[in-house]
Amino acid sequence: MMVNTLSPYVYGTTRLGDESIPEQERIETALEVMNQDIWIHTCHKYGNSLDILCKAFKKEPTKVPKIIMKIWGNTKQELIDGVKENLDRMGVDSLDMGQLCIGGEFAESLAEGGDAVTVLQEIRESGFIKSFVYEVFPWTSELPLKALQNGSLEGIIDGFIFYLNPLQRFAANELWDEIQKTQFPIVALRTVSGGPVHKLRDIPGFAWVNYLQERAVEVAPIFEKSGVPTWTEFCVRYAYSFPNLKATTGSTSKIERVHDFLKATENVKPLPQNIMDEIAALQYRWSDEVDVKAEPWTM
């Protein structure tokens, strides 16, 4: 399974699309990431990050990394056309891992082991998209749960991909329990939940939505008590405390912080059980009280 070949740290490319940072600096960051021989995660919605990647790939064509990319579509043609357009923008021929952002009939068909399975199998066998992970949010957890329980993902979906960090565990409780029971592979997104917990807690507006500031208030004392020296290390160790975690995806515009992520993902030690238990209790509560009731796409 491709998911077993992911680098432990996947570089998220959102910060490459920040046009307030000089383009040359962003290209340099991309080139440094490419020098590390790690996977990247991208999407055509991250500002002009695909164009920055294209420029970096042209400079170092032998160092083009393996790519996870978000993909949409309800039919084989829609899925292929969307991916082709974005790969063309980067000057790349095929996609290593497609992140399925699906809902409605296509997701229902996948859950029931229907035509969607055939479509995904055909695309994978063509080599154009070599593997798939399935994106999950609290408000879309129902069909992925049904699919997992029905066994319809076996051999076709390598894992689930969702926000997983000390402030966000974006598979709803029932799906999360099933993922843990079956040890279905996970790819984590948003490694540090947007930045250091004390900044999220203390600097007005640093957290892009209020609930993250409120969660930072609850998690900061747990982080402090743990004695772990940095928030990046704490978050990486949190994610890797789950044995079915295959990679964690974090972004930064700064080369030194790329190295912080890389260092934290070498020889990772799980967090102590009491720390994990305290965070788990918070996350079960947040999931039921906030996440599943949220207006979709507002979190």
Ligand X SMILES: NC(=O)c1ccc[n+]([C@@H]2O[C@H](COP(=O)([O-])OP(=O)(O)OC[C@H]3O[C@@H](n4cnc5c(N)ncnc54)[C@H](OP(=O)(O)O)[C@@H]3O)[C@@H](O)[C@H]2O)c1
Positions touching ligand X (CB under 6 A) are: 12-15, 41, 70, 99, 135, 189-196, 232, 249-254, 257, 260
> What length does the chain have?
299
Nearer to ligand X, 147 or 196 (CB): 196
Q: What is the nearest approach in angstroms of ligand X to the Cβ of residue 229?
A: 12
Rounded CA-CA distance 36/151 in Å is 36
Nearer to ligand X, 98 or 151 (CB): 98
The torsion angles phi and psi of 247, rounded to 5 degrees, stand at -170, 160
Q: What is the nearest approach in angstroms of ligand X to the Cβ of residue 151?
A: 25
Nearer to ligand X, 15 or 201 (CB): 15
Alpha-carbon torsion angle 19, 24, 27, 28, nearest 10: -130
Q: What is the nearest approach in angstroms of ligand X to the Cβ of residue 191?
A: 5
Nearer to ligand X, 18 or 115 (CB): 18
- Of the candidates 271, 68, 102, 293, which has an alpha carbon nearest to the alpha carbon of residue 187? 68
Q: What is the nearest approach in angstroms of ligand X to the Cβ of residue 32?
A: 13
Rounded CA-CA distance 19/272 in Å is 40
| Residue sitting closest to ligand X (CB) | 12
Nearer to ligand X, 106 or 261 (CB): 261
- Of the candidates 81, 140, 138, which has an alpha carbon nearest to the alpha carbon of residue 110? 140
Q: What is the nearest approach in angstroms of ligand X to the Cβ of residue 68?
A: 8
